[in-house]
Amino acid sequence: MLGAAPKARKGAPAKLGSVKGAPPAVAVAPAGNKVPAEEVWEVRPGGMLVQKRGGGVSDDEPSPNVKPVPTIRVKVKHAGVTHEIYISSEASFGELKKLVAAKTGLHPDDQKVLYKDKERDSKAFLDMAGVKDRSKLVVVEDPEAKARRLIEERRNGHLEKAAKAVAAVTAEVNKLAPKVAALDASVRKGEKVAENDVVQVTELLMNELLKLDAVVADGDVKAQRRMQVKRVQKYVETLDAVAAKNAAIIRKSGEKAAAPKQQQMPAQQQPRQQQQAPAAGQTRWEMFDLLSSLPSTSSASSTTTVSSTASSGAPPTNRLDWMLF
């Protein structure tokens, strides 16, 4: 047909103009040349090719439409002396107070900044208040603010001191905790421990408890102090129980050691009694012989002889009658 476009051969590359809906070709810019905004593309994480926002301007380069913040020079009068301070026009009065403190030595919290006979808040901005280059400001000392600051510093210093005291007690209790656990474990096993060790650890814990009682604090420091007090009291109660158990163990061991001695004492007394019995009989016999050899003229001798014969258990004989005759 006339006017019909010739068919493309198979395998021949298709022309860009003949393909409908094809995306525009991405221009590759040579190194060192800036690429126009409309030809800068980027690939999103999903694989979509989109035009990059920002017109090819890097983030590091400042935007041509943004003007730099100007630096102004203000004159600050304090105690009869005028100081020139360079500061950003968009800075706050609080930042201005810090620069004034570096010049005058007056604490920023003790300053009161006046501009156009009106006190300015530290959070307000210079440009919003109408401060411009070579504007004049007055800085005076605020006695009430200074008093509040000193009270706050004293309170913070007191809290800091209390926190350090509680921390020191905590460190000492941490050192004594293993000793308490060791004594408790030994007593639970039935082992005897030294009473001096129990007394010494108890005294050290009581000293730390007295230190905690002397600490006066608020807030978190008070909570930490209360926690350490309960902890020390628990350790002291544990040591009291250890002392009681240790005393029971010592008492039981003493009773066991005394029982064999009591069993040995009767066995030792029986041989002594057997040894003493013949000696006593022999003595009585010697007395009998001695008395029997005395003359028979005295009545006392006859009485003694009767008693000796009665004690010996021998039957009466005629010898007594013969002696009396």
- Domain parsing of the chain, residue ranges: 71-141, 149-252
What does the pLDDT average to over 233-240? 95
Residue 283 has pLDDT above 50, yes or no: no
Which of 10-14, 130-134, 307-311 is the most confident on average?
Answer: 130-134
Alpha-carbon distance of 158 to 154, in angstroms, equals 6
CA proximity to 138, closest of 95, 89, 96, 105:
96
Residue 178 has pLDDT above 50, yes or no: yes
Residue with the larger pLDDT of the pair 243 and 14: 243
Report pLDDT for 273.
54
What does the pLDDT average to over 45-60? 62
Q: How far is CA 146 from the centre of its chain?
A: 36
Residue 115 has pLDDT above 50, yes or no: yes
Alpha-carbon distance of 20 to 56, in angstroms, equals 28
pLDDT tens sequence across 196-221: 999 999 999 999 999 999 998 888 89
What does the pLDDT average to over 120-137? 92
Pick the CATH number of 149-252 from 3.40.50.720, 1.10.10.10, 3.10.450.40, 1.20.58.120: 1.20.58.120
Pick the CATH number of 71-141 from 3.10.20.90, 1.10.10.10, 3.90.800.10, 3.30.450.30: 3.10.20.90
Q: And the tokens for 108?
A: 């920023």
Residue with the larger pLDDT of the pair 301 and 148: 148
- Please say whether the beta carbons of 124 and 93 come within 8 A: yes
Quickly state the pLDDT bin for 138 (edges 50, 70, 90): very high
Alpha-carbon distance of 265 to 220, in angstroms, equals 69
Quickly state the pLDDT bin for 71 (edges 50, 70, 90): very high
This prediction's pTM: 0.47
Residue 2 has pLDDT above 90, yes or no: no
Report pLDDT for 41.
76
- The SS3 of residue 132 is coil
Amino acid occupying residue 236: V
Fold equal for 71-141 and 149-252? no
Alpha-carbon distance of 294 to 289, in angstroms, equals 9
Alpha-carbon distance of 140 to 79, in angstroms, equals 7
Element (H, E) at 87: strand 81-88
Residue with the larger pLDDT of the pair 260 and 22: 260
Residue 25 has pLDDT above 60, yes or no: no
